């Protein structure tokens, strides 16, 4: 989808379809001399939330898609729902271009820029299709361009660039998550990341397993050694800010398929373990969005890409490995592998002296039990960073919830034979996973996002959601204005 911003008299627009509220629709129909036809055609329209009606006209506006429930002062959540209803209906129409004019709605705490982002995000999510491997793919929506109308676009021109950037980032993240594991292995992820290196101010490099061994990354290698496909530590450097500016760091868990290793998962639902790299997909997607938006920041993105497979060479429960930090880990469960690749990635990214680190991972089933699919979990050692991420989630509608990171939970990771165990028992499993990662963070603001419940969905709508790309991109945009 491509977005642009327009303003001026809404009655003078020319478009195959205008998406707007009832009051504005009547104004446009009257200006085109078709108010009687409009009133008759829309007589059964009740103007309530969730209602939409399409009225065909003869004039510069060929049809109007009227969105119900836009009267009064709306809550932000209500406006998002109305946008979803409107964009769902819009994408069913056989048109290539439309004007979306929802700026007239009054939203509590939501100005013009926020309303533009909501409408564009809804359209980007709903227009996405993944048909790569279907012999007879479903016909995609015709709509390719959306002009977003505002009362006055002064200071809002950049919103089109941000909307286009987020659209690109979401597609990258969703495509990576949806690719089958026989294609999307660690080498494939590296190849996709290298495409970002074609753009200005971007450098992409990687650490091979041989180099990781030289750097003492025994935790990462304990996961990848069971697979015939080698793992990669991928580093993307985007230099959009001043040379003297310390970078923001994103770190993603990229387990392209997780069998559980020797601690083998049950077969039911194991196909969904291709989504265990959605943390990596999200940070790559957010990085793509930051690059496309030309944000004036420096960004370091590290992806720990590996495949967790059982084999004669796979790590066993009770094995002890040494991480890049020098700390030793007793591996009690080989299915707790994400934290093993992440801990070495976190150690490595700190060499870039970032001013903040955010890691993203589909880390624990316990997080799904705690929060379901509506919110991503946020753990942080820094109050300001935590609030910035939570605020970015609220602004983007990609919500998150703060979880405890108290030292009292650390005792569950005690080991009789190593510095720590890689699991802390059944209780508070998502918390102890975060506590494990905290042991590898030095004196730097850090947050861990467990997106096991939010990054993908199962059932009839199975697929990657692209989350938390909107949250991460909103956070980076906010950081760029500081």
The SS3 assignment for 128 reads coil
Q: Which pair of tokens denotes residue 242?
A: 């001043």
Marked catalytic residue, from 339, 399, 438, 467: 339
Marked catalytic residue, from 26, 80, 246, 265: 265
Give the Cβ contact number of residue 373 at 10 Å: 16
Tell me if residue 161 is catalytic. no
Calculate the alpha carbon distances from 473 to 166, 168, 454 in Å. 7, 11, 16
Give the Cβ contact number of residue 436 at 10 Å: 26
Give the helix, strand, coil percentages of the chain, each rounded to 5: 40, 20, 40
- For the chain, the first-to-last Cα distance in angstroms comes to 29
Tell me if residue 2 is catalytic. no
Give the Cβ contact number of residue 199 at 10 Å: 13
Q: Which pair of tokens denotes residue 335?
A: 């299915």
Question: Which of 230, 281, 288, 215 minimizes the C-alpha distance to 252?
Answer: 281
CB–CB of 359/253 below 8 Å? yes
User: CA quadruple 105, 107, 110, 115: dihedral positive or negative?
Assistant: negative
Q: Which residues are catalytic?
A: 265, 339
């Amino acid at each position: 989808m491509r977005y642009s911003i327009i303003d001026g008299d809404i009655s003078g627009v020319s478009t195959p379809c205008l998406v707007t509220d009832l009051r504005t629709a009547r104004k446009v129909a009257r200006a085109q001399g078709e108010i009687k036809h409009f009133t008759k055609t829309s007589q059964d329209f009740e103007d309530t939330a969730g209602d939409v009606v399409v009225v065909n006209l003869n004039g510069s506006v060929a049809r109007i898609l009227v969105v119900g429930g836009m009267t009064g002062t709306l809550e932000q959540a209500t406006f998002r729902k109305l946008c979803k209803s409107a964009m769902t209906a819009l994408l069913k129409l056989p048109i290539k271009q439309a004007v979306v004019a929802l700026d007239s709605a009054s939203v509590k705490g939501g100005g013009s820029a926020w309303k533009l982002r909501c409408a564009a995000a809804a359209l980007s999510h709903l227009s996405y299709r993944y048909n790569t491997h279907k012999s007879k793919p479903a016909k995609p929506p015709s709509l390719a361009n959306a002009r977003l109308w505002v009362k006055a676009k002064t200071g809002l021109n950049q919103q089109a660039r941000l909307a286009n950037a987020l659209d690109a980032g979401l597609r990258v993240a969703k495509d990576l998550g949806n690719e089958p594991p026989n294609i999307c292995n660690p080498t494939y992820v590296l190849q996709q990341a290298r495409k970002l290196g074609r753009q200005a101010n971007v450098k992409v490099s990687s650490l091979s397993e041989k180099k990781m061994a030289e750097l003492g990354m025994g935790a990462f290698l304990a996961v990848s050694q069971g697979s015939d496909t080698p793992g990669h530590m991928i580093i993307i450097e985007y230099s959009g800010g001043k040379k003297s500016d310390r970078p923001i760091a994103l770190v993603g868990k990229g387990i392209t398929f997780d069998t559980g290793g020797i601690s083998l998962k049950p077969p039911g639902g194991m196909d969904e373990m291709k989504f265990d790299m959605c943390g990596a997909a999200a940070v790559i997607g957010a990085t793509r969005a930051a690059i496309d938006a030309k944000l004036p920041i420096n960004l370091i993105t590290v992806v720990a890409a590996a495949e967790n497979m059982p084999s004669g060479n796979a790590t066993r429960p009770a094995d002890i490995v040494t991480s890049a930090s020098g700390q030793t880990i007793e591996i009690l469960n080989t299915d707790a592998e994400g934290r093993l690749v992440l801990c070495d990635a976190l150690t490595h990214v700190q060499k870039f002296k970032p001013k903040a680190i955010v890691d993203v991972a589909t880390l624990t089933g316990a997080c799904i039990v705690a929060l379901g699919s509506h919110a991503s979990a946020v753990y942080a050692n820094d109050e300001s960073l935590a609030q910035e991420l939570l605020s970015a989630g609220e602004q983007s509608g990609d919500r998150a919830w703060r979880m405890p990171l108290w030292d009292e939970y650390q005792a569950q990771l005690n080991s009789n034979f190593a510095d720590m165990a890689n699991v802390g028992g059944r209780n508070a499993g998502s918390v102890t996973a975060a506590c494990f990662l905290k042991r590898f963070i030095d004196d730097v603001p850090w947050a861990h996002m467990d997106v096991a419940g939010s990054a993908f969905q199962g059932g009839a709508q199975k697929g990657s959601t692209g989350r938390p790309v909107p949250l991460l991109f909103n956070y980076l945009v906010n950081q760029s204005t500081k």
